[in-house]
A and B are shown apart, each in its own frame.
Chain A
Amino acid sequence: MLKRPNLSIRHALLSGAAALASLFAVAQAEAADPIKIAVIAEAQAIAGASIPRAAQLAADEINAKGGVDGRQIQIISYDNKSSATDSVRAFQRAVSDDKVNAVIASYISEVVLALEPWAARLKTVMITPGAASNEITKAIHNDYEKNKYTFHGYLTSAELAQSVCDGAKDILVNDRKMKTAVIFSEDAAWTTPLDVGYKECLPKIGLQVLDHIRMSPDTTDFTPIFNKIEGEKPDVMITGISHIGVQPTVQWKNQQVPIPMLGIASQATNSTFWKDTNGAADGVLFQSVSGPSVAMTSKSVPFADAFNKKYGNFPSYAGYTAYDEVYYIADAIKRAGSTDSDKLVAALEKTDWEGTIGRIQFFGKEDQFTHGLKYGKGLITGMISQWQDGKQVAVWPPEIANGKIRFPSFIKAQNQ
């Protein structure tokens, strides 16, 4: 007899408890279901160290504003020690063990090329913040269904060459009436198309290519190379170097080679380059996608300053791109309404994002550089800076320049 009334109260209590519990469970599940982004980078290299840091900064900012539809972004970073094998292992671990939704990987072309087939096999989105080889987008264009998970979040070598030529046209040809150049690049995957691009666009802007020197990235003594170049008497050395940078620059200054350098020099974009070369960097002209105190877009300077405040130094070029990548991955997830890889790919293809380096849009399936960044005015143009007195001074394009070009005394540049 007593059971009947108890049963109904108990029943009510139980259902109430169950409802409450399930509400908690749902709330927990939602709150505990973060969006995981893996960051595989060369933590011991100056360019690479910025990548996980910038990504974390972006994640913190997004999370502070409530995350993506209530979900927090979690950055899981892996140091690949500049090794392709380690990167492959890290990628496998990230996907199978840590169950990440997307991967931001490396600034070294060889590493990204080794990872591309794995992104395809494991059907996981991968974006690179810094590699340049054309082969990355070529593989996507040639086998779209298989390789569509990879996105090239940096300028391809072809576009880099164009960026250098566009800058050189104003600075060297128009302002200084230069006529001849020697291409000076390291032997690596990304420089092969870069040099091809240089050989095409330099004559178009009025610089005759006298010679094309490719050197081993293991070179330590550049004296014979500089001597050879000097013998050919070009007006400028157009560079394509990334693995090397400190040593040739220091030797250039020590030997007082009277020819200026302009072009791609990844190490020159690092804020520590001046110190590493003990000031020999003075006068080096280099292309980049952004720089400290350069308002490429409205987001550039706030990012650089926030990075500097948090980590004590300005980010490398790959930091800017990694920061943007976290943001537009989050944006794509929001637009797709899911983290499913195929839906994410479709959403990413429609990216139209104002990042720190310019306006980010990707080429499509039918374009030559599928999933590469679009280059051009209003999108991403890159810029040219010069090291002066320990600072990176923006000298091109004129809209964002904050200084004039100045060469050290041993340089013979016309119309100084």
Chain B
Amino acid sequence: MLALQILVDGFAISALYALGATGFTLIFGVSGVLNLSHGALMVLGAVAAWAATNELHAGAYLAALFGIGSTLIAAFATYFVVVRPLQTSRAIPKEETEIFVLTGTLLWGIMIQELIAYFFTDNAKTVLPIVEGVVDIFGVRTPQNEIFTAVICWVVIGVLWLIVNKTRSGKAVLAASMNPRGVTLLGFELSRIYIAIWAIYGVLAGIAGVLLGMFLGVSSYSAGPLTGSAFSIVVLGGLGSVSGSLVAAYVVGYLETVTAYMINPAYRFIPALLLLVAVMYVRPQGLFGRR
């Protein structure tokens, strides 16, 4: 039964990691930005949803939508206030843009985190689950919330895949990640594409944040570790590769779960870290990396 327990528990947490990592890698792949405020944006979504329930007395669905919306707005703010000005600034030499965007998003993330702590304290918050109760899967008592999380994550990833591969605008986005100049020649406005990708990113991060809030709970302190974990998964999978992130998310998720169950919950993060180190030396571009 332990094996089944690990299978079920690992699946849900990996799905959540996958959703978070996908957004992160998408932004890097298309607009070249390593968004270090990623974790803060997720926490923002969860805390907004919590606030909607507790201060505005909204129902679970409405609160979730409110949370996702908040992250979406914050994602746009990240792009327009921090990223775009730095990327288009003429005072910054080209090869330094990356470090500036990095530092800028880092500061932005800290600002969001501190604001959350200021208004809502640094105590952990949980989001009202949309689905409650437990269900029996072959003898493993599983909260329905967990199943809901996994399902939603995969549905969203599926929808994303459809958009990117099957719709015209989606394919434009994909093209832009490979050759931005070429895409403009085809008549697409790059700025529109960037706005679209940040919008997608905002929704992804928002959903991931709200789900995380429902499943495990978040606090303003979670922002940093969440960014760090998304970062490592994306590196493992290969910067810029969505399928790589998915696979890596599951590898990391299951490594952590197995460690927590079979060795010791305190050492949960260590095997994934060691794996990351190993990959860095043996295959730095990650499993499916192409950049």
Spell out A's residues near B (CB within 8 Å).
44-46, 49, 82, 187, 214-216, 218-221, 223-225, 227-228, 244-247, 250-251, 254-256, 267, 270, 272, 275-278, 280
Spell out B's residues near A (CB within 8 Å).
5, 9, 13, 50, 53-54, 117-118, 121-129, 132-134, 141, 143, 145-146, 215-217, 219, 222, 225, 257, 260-261, 265-266, 268
Question: Complex Cα distance A255/B145, Å?
Answer: 9
Please give me the 5 A-B residue pairs with the lowest Cβ-Cβ distance, nearest first. A246-B124, A224-B260, A247-B217, A254-B143, A250-B126
The residue of chain B having its C-beta at the shortest distance from the C-beta of A247 within the complex is B217
Question: Which residues of chain B are within 8 angstroms of A219 by Cβ–Cβ distance?
Answer: 265, 268
CB < 8 Å: which of A250, A256, A276 contacts B123? A276
**Contact B53 A278, beta carbon cutoff 8 Å:** yes
The residue of chain A having its C-beta at the shortest distance from the C-beta of B1 within the complex is A231
CB < 8 Å: which of A44, A227, A251, A255 contacts B121? A44
Question: Complex Cα distance A280/B50, Å?
Answer: 14
Question: Which residues of chain B are within 8 angstroms of A275 by Cβ–Cβ distance?
Answer: 54
List 28 A–B pairs whose Cβ atoms lie within 8 Å, in order of A's numbering. Answer: A44-B117, A46-B121, A46-B123, A49-B121, A82-B122, A187-B266, A214-B266, A215-B265, A218-B225, A219-B268, A221-B216, A224-B257, A225-B260, A227-B9, A227-B261, A246-B123, A246-B217, A255-B141, A256-B134, A256-B141, A256-B143, A270-B123, A275-B54, A276-B123, A276-B126, A277-B126, A278-B53, A280-B126
Question: Which residues of chain A are within 8 angstroms of B132 by Cβ–Cβ distance?
Answer: 254
**Contact A278 B122, beta carbon cutoff 8 Å:** no
**Contact B216 A251, beta carbon cutoff 8 Å:** yes
**Contact A220 B265, beta carbon cutoff 8 Å:** no
Question: Complex Cα distance A181/B171, Å?
Answer: 59
CB < 8 Å: which of A49, A216, A220, A223 contacts B222? A220
**Contact B266 A215, beta carbon cutoff 8 Å:** yes
CB < 8 Å: which of B121, B129, B143, B266 contacts A216? B266
Count contacts between A and B, CB distance < 8 Å. 86
Question: Complex Cα distance A250/B145, Å?
Answer: 12
Known: A247-B216, A250-B217, A256-B134. A221 touches B261 (CB 8 A): no
Question: Complex Cα distance A278/B57, Å?
Answer: 11
Known: A225-B265, A254-B145. 14 other contacts (CB 8 A): A49-B121, A218-B225, A224-B265, A227-B261, A245-B124, A246-B123, A246-B124, A247-B217, A250-B126, A254-B143, A270-B123, A276-B125, A278-B53, A278-B126
CB < 8 Å: which of A45, A218, A225, A244 contacts B122? A45
Question: Complex Cα distance A275/B53, Å?
Answer: 9
**Contact B126 A247, beta carbon cutoff 8 Å:** yes
**Contact B265 A246, beta carbon cutoff 8 Å:** no
Question: Which residues of chain A are within 8 angstroms of B54 by Cβ–Cβ distance?
Answer: 275, 278
The residue of chain B having its C-beta at the shortest distance from the C-beta of A42 within the complex is B122
The residue of chain A having its C-beta at the shortest distance from the C-beta of B124 within the complex is A246
Question: Complex Cα distance A151/B121, Å?
Answer: 28
Question: Complex Cα distance A225/B118, Å?
Answer: 32
Question: Which residues of chain B are within 8 angstroms of A246 by Cβ–Cβ distance?
Answer: 123-126, 217, 219
The smallest C-beta distance from A42 to any residue of chain B, in angstroms, reads: 9
The smallest C-beta distance from A243 to any residue of chain B, in angstroms, reads: 10
Question: Which residues of chain A are within 8 angstroms of B133 by Cβ–Cβ distance?
Answer: 256
The smallest C-beta distance from A37 to any residue of chain B, in angstroms, reads: 24
The smallest C-beta distance from B215 to any residue of chain A, in angstroms, reads: 8
Which one of B122, B133, B216, B219 has the greatest number of beta carbons of chain A within 10 Å? B216
Question: Complex Cα distance A344/B155, Å?
Answer: 67
The smallest C-beta distance from B109 to any residue of chain A, in angstroms, reads: 17
The smallest C-beta distance from B197 to any residue of chain A, in angstroms, reads: 29
Question: Which residues of chain B are within 8 angstroms of A227 by Cβ–Cβ distance?
Answer: 5, 9, 261
Question: Complex Cα distance A216/B225, Å?
Answer: 14
The smallest C-beta distance from A189 to any residue of chain B, in angstroms, reads: 16
The smallest C-beta distance from B54 to any residue of chain A, in angstroms, reads: 5
Question: Which residues of chain A are within 8 angstroms of B225 by Cβ–Cβ distance?
Answer: 218
Question: Which residues of chain A are within 8 angstroms of B222 by Cβ–Cβ distance?
Answer: 220
Question: Complex Cα distance A219/B256, Å?
Answer: 12
Known: A221-B13, A221-B216, A254-B129. A45 touches B265 (CB 8 A): no
**Contact A224 B261, beta carbon cutoff 8 Å:** yes
Question: Which residues of chain B are within 8 angstroms of A245 by Cβ–Cβ distance?
Answer: 124
Known: A224-B265, A256-B141, A256-B143. A244 touches B123 (CB 8 A): no
The smallest C-beta distance from B119 to any residue of chain A, in angstroms, reads: 10
CB < 8 Å: which of B50, B122, B257 contacts A44? B122
Known: A245-B124, A254-B129, A276-B125. A223 touches B9 (CB 8 A): yes
Question: Complex Cα distance A255/B117, Å?
Answer: 28
Which one of B5, B265, B266 has the greatest number of beta carbons of chain A within 10 Å? B265
The residue of chain A having its C-beta at the shortest distance from the C-beta of B133 within the complex is A256
**Contact A244 B126, beta carbon cutoff 8 Å:** no
Question: Complex Cα distance A296/B146, Å?
Answer: 42
Question: Which residues of chain B are within 8 angstroms of A224 by Cβ–Cβ distance?
Answer: 9, 257, 260-261, 265
Which one of A220, A267, A272 has the greatest number of beta carbons of chain B within 10 Å? A220
**Contact B217 A220, beta carbon cutoff 8 Å:** yes
Question: Complex Cα distance A168/B215, Å?
Answer: 31
Known: A44-B117, A46-B121. A216 touches B265 (CB 8 A): yes
Question: Which residues of chain A are within 8 angstroms of B217 by Cβ–Cβ distance?
Answer: 220, 246-247, 250-251
Question: Which residues of chain A are within 8 angstroms of B127 by Cβ–Cβ distance?
Answer: 278
The residue of chain A having its C-beta at the shortest distance from the C-beta of B217 within the complex is A247
The smallest C-beta distance from A279 to any residue of chain B, in angstroms, reads: 9
Question: Which residues of chain A are within 8 angstroms of B123 by Cβ–Cβ distance?
Answer: 45-46, 246, 267, 270, 272, 276
The smallest C-beta distance from A240 to any residue of chain B, in angstroms, reads: 15
